Amino acid sequence: MCTNYRPGSRDFIRERFALEADFDYADETYPAYTAPIVLRTPQGNACRPACFGLIPHWARDTKIARSTYNARSETVAEKPSFRHAWRERQFCLVPMRSFYEPSYESGRAVRWRIESASGAEFCVAGIWEAWRAPTAQTVLSFSMLTINADGHALMQRFHAPGDEKRSIVVVEPRDYEEWLAGDPLRARELLRRFDAAAFRASADPRPRAVRAPRS
């Protein structure tokens, strides 16, 4: 399950989609952080800032975003938090440079970075929702869709021993527009494993916080 990633660069979003990510976002994204997504609007494709962790329309506040950052493709149409976005065909692309998963191959959890073998940026499949806050502000949010990765040459290396292996869905550039178009049957066909040979992984432990010296 992806809880941490590096969002796509402004240059990638501009060159690939002819859109501007004209807002601030962190170099690394965690649940409840703001990051860019690409979605279809009545006026065409748009890049918008969105909360990582889907906030369903019935939520009382944004706290739920810390547990809704991934949506299982097998149950997305039924789960209360996600079914409205899926039913309304609110599909989005999540641009990224890399994502992180824990490897236990050393006997303990070590953060690993996964990125395309060429270093190129890519997009993963997501769903989005618009939540109306008590202040009347509309907050966009999103979740990444995941699929089973048991036996996948790369993704089976991650997560705790005994846990089901899961993977986010990398959308091929040729399929970007089809994914955004929101046809449920076609969307299901696009929820497939990415080519392990096209990606690489390496240990990238999170830097330890530096403590201030005692006076």
Q: Hey, where are the domains in the chain?
A: 5-98+119-149+166-196
Q: Which pLDDT score is estimated for 177?
A: 96
Given a cut of 90, whether residue 53 has pLDDT beyond it is: yes
Work out the number of other CB atoms within 10 angstroms of the CB of residue 110. 15
Residue keyed to tokens 């939520």: 59
In whole angstroms, give the CA distance from residue 6 to residue 105: 23
What pLDDT is stored for residue 209 in this prediction?
53
Q: Which residues pair with 71 in a beta bridge?
A: 145
pTM: 0.94
Cβ count within 10 A of residue 138: 9
Give kind and range of the element (H or E) at residue 185: helix 184-190
CA distance 110 to 96: 21
202 strand-pairing partners: 113
pLDDT tens digits for range 136-159: 889 999 999 999 999 999 999 998
pLDDT > 70: what percent of the chain?
96
- Count the helices and strands in the chain (H runs, E runs): 4, 11
Q: What is the pLDDT, as a whole number, of residue 215?
A: 37
CATH superfamily of 5-98+119-149+166-196: SOS response associated peptidase-like (3.90.1680.10)
Mean pLDDT, residues 64-86 taken together:
97
Q: How far is CA 120 from CA 115, 146, 191, in A?
A: 8, 21, 21
C-alpha span between 89 and 140 (Å, rounded): 15
Contact status, residue 126 vs residue 92, Cβ threshold 8 Å: yes
Name the token pair of 150.
């048991």
What SS3 state is found at 181? Answer: helix
Query: Could you identify the residue written with the tokens 């501009």?
Result: 14
> Among 146, 152, 154, which Cα is nearest to 75's?
146
| Measured distance CA(4)–CA(50) in Å, rounded | 15
* DSSP at 55: -
pLDDT one-digit tens code per residue, 161-213:
888 999 999 999 999 999 999 888 889 999 999 999 999 999 999 876 544 44
> What is the 8-class DSSP label of residue 53?
S
Looking at residue 213, what is its pLDDT?
45
Cβ(128)–Cβ(141) under 8 Å? yes
Residue 88 predicted with pLDDT over 50? yes
